[in-house]
Amino acid sequence: MLRIARTDDVLDLGCGTGHLAQEVRVLTDGRVVGIDLSPEMIEMARGAAPPDVEFLTAAAEDLDMPETFDAIICNSAFQWFTDVPGALANCFAALRHGGRMALQAPAHREYCPQFLRAVRMLAGDRRTARTWDRFRSPWTFYETAEEYSRLFAAAGFDVVAAEVEELREHTTPERALEMFESGRRPATSTRAATTCPGPWGIPRRRGSSS
Ligand SMILES: C[S@@+](CC[C@H](N)C(=O)[O-])C[C@H]1O[C@@H](n2cnc3c(N)ncnc32)[C@H](O)[C@@H]1O
Find the 54 Cα to ligand 1 centroid distance in Å.
16
pLDDT in the model for residue 142? 87
Tens digit of each residue's pLDDT (9 = 90 or more) over 174-185: 877 777 666 544
Tens digit of each residue's pLDDT (9 = 90 or more) over 66-114: 999 999 999 999 999 999 999 999 999 999 999 999 999 887 777 788 8
Tens digit of each residue's pLDDT (9 = 90 or more) over 123-173: 889 998 888 877 777 888 888 899 999 999 999 999 999 998 887 878 787
* Residue ranges around ligand 1 (CB below 6 Å): 14-16, 19-20, 36-38, 41, 59-61, 75-77, 80-81, 187, 190-192, 195
Quick one: residue 168, left, alpha or beta (phi over 0 = left, psi -120 to 50 = alpha)? beta
Distances (CA, A) of 52 to 21, 49, 150, 209: 11, 8, 36, 29
Instruction: Please report, for the chain, the start and end positions of each structural domain, with discontinuous segments joined by +.
Output: 10-108+140-171+195-205
Q: Is 10-108+140-171+195-205 in CATH node 3.40.50.150?
A: yes
Tens digit of each residue's pLDDT (9 = 90 or more) over 6-26: 999 999 999 999 999 999 999
Q: Cα angle at 64 between 62 and 68, to 5 degrees?
A: 140
Determine contact, residues 61/37, Cβ cutoff 8 Å.
no
Residue 10 parent element (H or E): strand 10-13
Mind giving me the DSSP string for 125-181? Answer: STTTHHHHTT--------SSHHHHHHHHHHTTEEEEEEEE--------HHHHHHHHH
89: number of CA atoms within 13 Å, CB side? 7
Look at residues 44, 45, 41, 32 and name the one whose alpha carbon lies nearest to residue 59: 41
Q: Does 210 have pLDDT greater than 80?
A: no
pLDDT in the model for residue 137? 78
Atom of ligand 1 nearest to the CA of 194: 1
pLDDT in the model for residue 180? 67
Q: Tell me the whole-structure pTM to 2 decimals.
A: 0.82
pLDDT in the model for residue 174? 81
Q: Does 204 have pLDDT greater than 70?
A: no
**C-alpha R_g of the chain:** 17
